[in-house]
Amino acid sequence: MGVSLKDVALRAGVSLRTASKVVNGSPHLRPATRERVLRAVDELGYRPNLTARHLRSGRTGLITMAVPDVARPYFAELAGAVIETAARYGRTVLLDHTGGSYERELTVCNGARSHLADGLILSPVRLAEEDLRARADQAPLVLLGGGEYRVPYDHIAIDDVAAARTAVRHLASLGRRRIAFVGASDDRARREADLRLRGWREELAAAGTVPSTALVAATDGRGRQDGLAAMTRLLARQRSRGRPVPDAVFACNDQLALGAMRALAQHGLRVPEDVAVVGFDDTEEGRYAAVSLTTIAPDTSAIARLAVTRLVERISWDGASPPPAPVRITPGHTLVVRESTTGRSGTGRAPPRPAAPAFEPAAPAHAFAGCQSRQPPVARGTV
């Protein structure tokens, strides 16, 4: 005999109605209660009767997740976490690859799959604030990734500036003074690379070092080959001008960092003896590189959990009560110290600093009709 929702309620120690609210994504529940019920769902292997639910609600049970590059390890790992979390709510995820194209992002944002899916989780690269404000589709939307959008949608993103400062502060603490930046360049100031570049500048200035544009290796791509090419150009430029090469590198993601490490090796420079390197994303590639990569680790599981929970709450809103107010949620990040900066493996995660409150309104209450101001509970954060 299959597991019923009543079995889940008994295991979680809640009423059948409360268990039903959790599984159906109803808002206004205590986080501890929600987590207890979802844990019981996992332990018992409960799966909702999706056909019956969809016939009653008129919803498909599908959600779309659109990311710029499904081949990029960070997005692959994040998509896996979203799919796993969505399954706990009885939802199936349709994964969409935008390629970082403005036209594709705009198409997805404006409802390319709204006839198939009940809502959208979108990681935009090219979309501007005005594109999101002018969105034609009415399906619920949750935004992911770096940006400073002031729009009436939930936005889940780590503090890219603070995370970059954490990486540069670590390098400076090791006595490194010529710290280069390797990352993508674009004219849209909201891109996460530009926020991380800002963090690089701010932390160098705080350490009493004047940030030098000569130590910025820009690239439009985000892969290993782009990191290799950018680092090769930077080294050639420094040497042609009779300047010393960097003694440290902060790269915008792990793939760029790994490419930069390859370029350093090709030029006879050792990591970390000659040049220390820090990446971003804590992907599996970096963990098992020949010289394991020190990196910034976003709380991917928290990002996935928060994104799915907020989206399911909005999909399940019955219209009888005020809709959940849009918020910007800032999960934590952690510095993971490995061989590429210390020469030692197994040094683990650096102790986090206390985090500021992780929630803030996505936009002022007066900015958008129907957006109400409220103070949500504080999520767990790290650095």
pLDDT score recorded for residue 369: 38
Q: Which residues contact 8 (CB under 8 A, 6 or more apart)?
A: 19, 23, 37, 40, 41, 44, 46
**Predicted pLDDT of residue 364:** 45
Query: For residues 244 and 238, is the Cβ–Cβ distance under 8 A?
Result: yes
| pLDDT recorded at residue 28 | 66
Its pTM stands at 0.76
Cis peptide bond N-terminal to 272, omega within 30: yes
Q: What span, in angstroms and rounded, lies between the C-alpha atoms of 359 and 25?
A: 20
d(CA 121, CA 92): 13
| DSSP string computed for 257-288 | HHHHHHHHHHTT--TTTT-EEEEES--HHHHT
pLDDT for 30 equals: 81
Annotate 148-176 with b (16+ C-beta within 10 A) or e (fewer).
ebbbbbbbbbbbbbbbbbbbbebbbeeeb
Coil, strand or helix: which one is 175?
A: coil
Cβ atoms of residues 38 and 26 within 8 Å: no
d(CA 340, CA 332): 23
Nearest CA among 43, 47, 66 for reference residue 2: 47
Which residues in the chain land under pLDDT 50?
55-56, 189, 347-358, 364-383
**Spatial contact of 275 and 249, defined as CB atoms under 8 Å apart:** yes
Query: What pLDDT was estimated at residue 350?
Result: 46
Residue-level pLDDT at 11: 87
**What DSSP element (H or E) covers 315?**
helix 300-315
Beta-bridge mates of residue 361 = 327
Q: In the prediction, which pLDDT does 74 show? A: 92
CB 155 within 8 A of CB 147: yes
Q: Which domains does the chain have, with CATH numbers?
A: 1-47 (1.10.260.40), 160-298 (3.40.50.2300)
pLDDT of residue 356: 40
Separation of alpha carbons 57 and 153, rounded Å: 23
**Per-position DSSP letters for 219-246, written without gaps between them:** ES--SHHHHHHHHHHHHHHHHHTTPPPP
pLDDT of residue 48: 66
Measured CA to CA, the distance from residue 68 to residue 126 in angstroms comes to: 10
Alpha carbon distance 61, 265 (integer Å)? 50
Torsion of CA 163, 234, 100, 70, to 10 degrees: -70
> What is the pLDDT at residue 271?
97
Gap between the Cα atoms of 335 and 298, Å rounded: 9
On whether the CB atoms of residues 222 and 253 are closer than 8 A, the answer is yes
Give the pLDDT confidence score for residue 53 in this predicted structure: 54
Strand partners, 67: 97
CA 19 to chain CA centroid, Å, is 29
- Per residue in 101-157, pLDDT tens? 899 999 999 887 666 789 999 999 889 889 999 988 888 999 998 777 889 999 999
